[in-house]
Amino acid sequence: MFSLPTGQLGALPVMPVQAMTQQATRHARRVYVGGLPPTANEQSVATFFSHVMSAIGGNTAGPGDAVVNVYINHEKKFAFVEMRSVEEASNAMALDGIIFEGAPVKVRRPSDYNPSLAATLGPSQPNPNLNLAAVGLTPGSAGGLEGPDRIFVGGLPYYFTEGQIRELLESFGPLRGFDLVKDRETGNSKGYAFCVYQDLSVTDIACAALNGIKMGDKTLTVRRANQGVTQPKPEQESVLLHAQQQIALQCASGTHLQKLMLQPGTLATKVLCLTQVVSADELRDDEDYADILEDMRLECGKFGTLVNLVIPRPSPTGDPTPGVGKVFLEYADVESANKARQGLHGRRFGGNQVVAVFYPENRFSQGDYDG
């Protein structure tokens, strides 16, 4: 890879150091380009990206081409484009959605990109003064997923689907763009996503409301992609409160969002609702029902003082009965209910995985078990 002119043996000791430096920065100098047309080859990709980098003013490492190496996977139609410098690779991220040989291509960080390490090597974001118009791009043109209002959503459980995540995010309004990052080999979620709202004024509200929420066994990290956590403005507080209430209602109403485990003190209550625990058939026989009540009382009483235990039974006449298949636990305090939620959620019971969510106290006290 590193050839030396004859007679320059004195330079030999320096070469391993140079090689190590290049290897250490490679993850931050490489760019993933996806959606390439079948006609693409290493030379055409290198020439194209060197040209557009120069056209937008993205070359910062001196004269010459920004691209030093290209690897193409023709079967999967993607390439890794290696730039001369970390800063030039960051500038190339602004080229997402650019038209190459008649087709828009995705420009992303490679899977081995290490953000915390890369931050010590050079700029992580494109220069805001790049002349994107010179190559037919505008900030935010790539599916709405670039620009200062782009939101990073991390800490997502791997088993959550795109539909479930979108349902959560759209509690605050319709999305302009959404991208759940997936492993290129397996197609599985990598546990983080990016989104941009159509109404940019809700960006900070969504970040403040969602950041720190517990989902399953994970905790969400939600912030603007290019900066730290921000607080909503005073005039946005009522919208924030409404959004949190909407999430609470959706969690309690049996939708996909019931799997959200929200922070104590935000939407936690003294009442816990368990699903995937008992079936209607198990509740019909009086003796079986008494055994289930006793087992539940003993097991759930381990987490704190259990004030009330309600397991709705199916009607003998066959009429619909609200809450059948659910178990309601009312504890003396929120702390005990939270301990129970942490201890019970995800546990196996009769071959099923228990789902435990907080339930509104006013609905429980009114005998409303239909949520």
Angle of CA points 120, 123, 128, to nearest 5°: 165
Average pLDDT (295-322) is 87
- Say if CB 176 and CB 197 are below 8 A apart: yes
Residue 305 CA to residue 326 CA, distance in Å, equals: 20
| 260 within a domain of the structure (yes/no) | no
The pLDDT of residue 105 is above 90: no
pLDDT cut 90: percent of the chain above it: 18
Q: What is the pLDDT of residue 252?
A: 45
155: domain CATH number? Answer: 3.30.70.330
- Say if CB 347 and CB 239 are below 8 A apart: no
Give Cα separations from 140 to 17, 97, 174, 249, 369 (angstroms). 40, 10, 16, 33, 46
pLDDT in tens, 341-371: 888 877 877 667 787 888 888 888 888 887 6
Classified as helix, coil or strand, 167 is helix
Higher pLDDT, 96 or 305: 305
pLDDT band at 3; cut points 50, 70, 90: very low
The pLDDT of residue 260 is above 60: no
| 232 within a domain of the structure (yes/no) | no
- Say if CB 345 and CB 354 are below 8 A apart: yes
Same domain, 111 and 83: yes
Residue 3 pairs in a beta bridge with none
| 4 within a domain of the structure (yes/no) | no
Q: What is the pLDDT of residue 96?
A: 84
209 is in which domain, residue-wise?
A: 151-224
Could you give the number of structural domains in the chain?
3
Same domain, 64 and 123: yes
**End residue of a domain, out of 190, 224, 258:** 224
Same domain, 289 and 339: yes
Q: What is the pLDDT of residue 266?
A: 36
Same domain, 310 and 276: yes
Residue 115 CA to residue 113 CA, distance in Å, equals: 6
Q: What is the pLDDT of residue 142?
A: 41
333-350 b/e (C-beta count within 10 Å ≥ 16 → b):
ebebbbbbbeebbeeeee
Classified as helix, coil or strand, 78 is strand
Same domain, 127 and 158: no
From 239, 228, 44, select the one nearest 152 (Cα to Cα): 228
CB within 8 A of 284, min separation 6: which ones? 313, 314
CB within 8 A of 60, min separation 6: which ones? 85, 87, 88, 91, 127
Same domain, 130 and 39: yes
Most confident by average pLDDT, 15-29, 60-74, 149-163, 252-266: 60-74
pLDDT cut 70: percent of the chain above it: 78
pLDDT in tens, 230-243: 444 544 555 555 55
